[in-house]
Structures are given as structure tokens and as C-alpha cells.
Amino acid sequence: MCSCFAKMHTLWDLCARYWPDLLLAFLFAVIVELLRVSSRIREAWRWIKDKNAESSIAQINARIAEQETYRNLLQSYLASDKLLYLAVLQNITGILLFMCIGGVLLIVGRLRVIEFPGAEIVALRPSHAQ
């Protein structure tokens, strides 16, 4: 029983010591998840929106019209090359976002504001280059 508390205490110490890394890992995971075409976060938000649907008939009819226009928009994307262009744009945006994050990590690491041991690796820049 005592070893269980000791393990939890060391786990808490690790979390307290490495909280910036854990926070960055969580943010990267959320960003990667949102950049996916079938993001579960967006699906969950849509599900919550549907569960909190309006109760009056006028609001329900407006919601149905909104959903139909969204469906027609998606069908028009499937009928043209826009879907391909949007997917390529999404990938390029994701790559640029991660390049910017790597640059920010490199700058913050060089300024010694917060220590990021892997900032040089993430930014893909040699550590000896000044």
C-alpha cells in the first residue's frame, strides 16, 4: 500500500517537473487532431451541437436548412477539384504551422527563457550554427 503512494508521489513529481513539456505535447496532439480531415474533436463538437438542438419549430427548420446547404456544399466539393485543393491547402498549412512552432522553440531555447533540450532537433537546425 505504501509503495503505491510512493509511485503516485514520484509520478506527481515528474508531472510537476515536466509540465511545460506535457502541455506542449497536449497542444501538439490537439493541433494534429484538428488538422485531420475526420477530426474527432470537430465530430464531438458537432455531436454536442446536435444534442443541444433548438426546440421550437422555426429554429429546427432553420437548422435543417443550414444542414441542407452544408450538405449541398460538400456535394459540390465532391463534384469538383476543390476537395483536392482544400486537402493540399490543409497539408501545407499544417507543415507551415509546425515549421513556425519549431522556429519559436528554437528562438525561445536560444533566449534561454525556457529550457527546451530538443529545440535544436525540432527546428532541424544544427546546434553549432549561430
Identify whether 22 is part of a domain: no
Residues 86 and 129 in one domain: yes
Residues 76 and 98 in one domain: no
- Which strand (E) or helix (H) includes residue 78? helix 57-79
| Three-state SS at 53 | coil
* Confidence (pLDDT) at 97: 92
pLDDT tens by residue, 65-88:
999 999 998 888 777 787 788 888
Residues 94 and 51 in one domain: no
Distance CA 97, CA 17 (A): 27
Is there a contact between 51 and 63 (Cβ–Cβ < 8 Å)? no
Domain limits for position 101 = 81-130
Residue with cell 437548422: 63
User: Measuring CA to CA, how many Å separate 121 from each of 1, 17, 46, 108, 124?
Assistant: 42, 21, 37, 14, 5
Residue with cell 475526420: 38
Identify whether 12 is part of a domain: no
pLDDT tens by residue, 119-129:
566 555 555 55
Identify whether 106 is part of a domain: yes
Identify whether 87 is part of a domain: yes
Whether this model's pTM surpasses 0.75? no
Identify whether 96 is part of a domain: yes
